[in-house]
Structure 1
Amino acid sequence: MLVPTLTWNASTTSSPHQALGPFYDLRELVLAAMLAALAGAAGAAAWLYTSGWYVTFMTGNTERLVLEHFKGEHVIAFGALATVLVFVAGVITATLARVYLWRKARHGATRVMTAATIAACLSDMFLVAEGDAFGVAPVMCLAFGLGALNTSISRRGEVVMPLSYMTGTLVKIGQGIALHVASIRRWGWVPHATTISGFVAGAVLGGALFSNTGTHHSLLALAAISLIISVATWFLDHHGFIADDVY
């Protein structure tokens, strides 16, 4: 009787060491931590800018778009819906751009994020009236950019390491620690812990910028940081691209 076998190649194998998890190599792990830090900084800036509106927490926004109606806060509910839709639009845009524009590198999503942070800064300067609590346009720009950024670490169109979805990352860390203790798979929690550490570091940076520089300057600083990370991403990712990692 013939027994079916699986043939593995560069597109189906994961990293050479369990401590790298879904990453190809150490360079991609560092890249994910940097991009997660950018996501954390952008999320912190948006939250402080609006005094409590998340652009990284789509689970909460999905609940708010329903539950706020029960409180009579219809405008807030529609705002949550808009945030979710714009976030998804960012994912769609970055994915299509990857398919048609930058098939040989993943750093293009960071370009979209950089453009979104610049747009957020400019819209806050020119579209938000003096005395307004906050502007909708800057928040939507950041949500769009974060949706795009989350597509960065993908394999054949599937995200293998989300950069702002910390609930799932915490689940992976917990599972990895349990499997490590049970001696089933060691160090599988390390890449996820690295990513969440980058996210937390970015949140600290974003919070510090907003608290010490004010709204306009903090969004400008965020755009500058995103531009720097975009350049760094090109060096980290472009030359190390895996040829088989295509759609």
Structure 2
Amino acid sequence: MPQQRPPLRALQLGLSGLAGLLDATGFLIAQGYFVSFMSGNTTQLGVNLLDGIPQVLLPAGLIACFLGGVTAGAAIGWTSERRPRSTLLAISLALVSIAAAAYEFGSTLGFLAPAAFAMGLVNNVFLRDDGSSAGVTYMTGALVRIGQNFAASLLGQRNRIKPGYGLLWLCLLGGAILGTWLHTLPGATGPLVAAGANALLLLLAWRTEKREN
């Protein structure tokens, strides 16, 4: 669900934008595969099954990396005594930096694997805030909520409206647009910008947790 406190809200929106940026980059260099949108990779996995084992390795590997990131992130989020958000974002920054370096050296797989693991990891940043890991790197659930909000508004049932999902979706879209444009520039511009954005989000998380403690 959208976070209500302004610093956490900014962090959530920033993570959605980061996911859009990295997903667009992964999609462009891997010709149709994603580092955060696992529904798309699952569909590709099903389609590719008819073409033989070699064709399923990439989507299956990306799903495994994402799932591994979610699992590791949940374990860290539940067991970290202090600053779990900062810890997760520090690990994510290291992974995104590795992905950027791999991109610079022309390794598609070297970019995709750590980026997918990082995107799974950061879905646990708000694990302790609402008792569940609200997805910040995929927006199917957000679009469902937006549609439900439209229906509630049409029926005059404003008490059923849950605001904030539209902005989350727009941040993911904006990140994807930015990632696509950065992909047209030379070198690893997009992944480096993603690493910089991750660093800023880490700083925001650290300051937020410092106030809380």
**TM-score, structure 2 normalization:** 0.87
Unaligned runs of 5+ in 2: none
Deviations 1:157-203 (A, max 9, x none): 512x3112211110011112212332323583431111111111111
Counterpart mapping for 1:129-144 below 5 A: 135-144=108-117
1:226 and 2:205 correspond = no
In structure 2, the residue matched to 1:63 is 43
- Return structure 1 stretches of 4+ with deviation > 6 angstroms: none
Counterpart mapping for 1:97-246 below 5 A: 97-126=76-105, 128=106, 135-154=108-127, 155=129, 157-159=131-133, 161-186=134-159, 188-214=161-187, 216-235=188-207, 237-239=208-210, 241=212
| Aligned-partner Cα distance in 2 for 1:39–1:178 | 28
| Aligned-partner Cα distance in 1 for 2:24–2:210 | 31
In structure 2, the residue matched to 1:6 is none
Give 1:26 shift: 2.9
1:92 and 2:65 correspond = no
Q: Answer with 1 or 2: which has the greater Rg.
A: 1
Give 1:58 shift: 0.7
Identity of aligned residues (%): 23
Unaligned runs of 5+ in 1: 1-20, 129-133
1:82 and 2:61 correspond = yes
Pick the structure with more helix per residue.
2
Q: Give the conservation status (yes or no) of the 8 Å contact 1:177–1:189.
A: no
Q: Structure 2 vs 1, CA of residues 224 and 29 (structure 1 numbering), >3 Å: closer, same or farther?
A: closer
Give 1:211 shift: 1.3
Q: Structure 2 vs 1, CA of residues 111 and 207 (structure 1 numbering), >3 Å: closer, same or farther?
A: same
| Aligned-partner Cα distance in 1 for 2:90–2:159 | 35
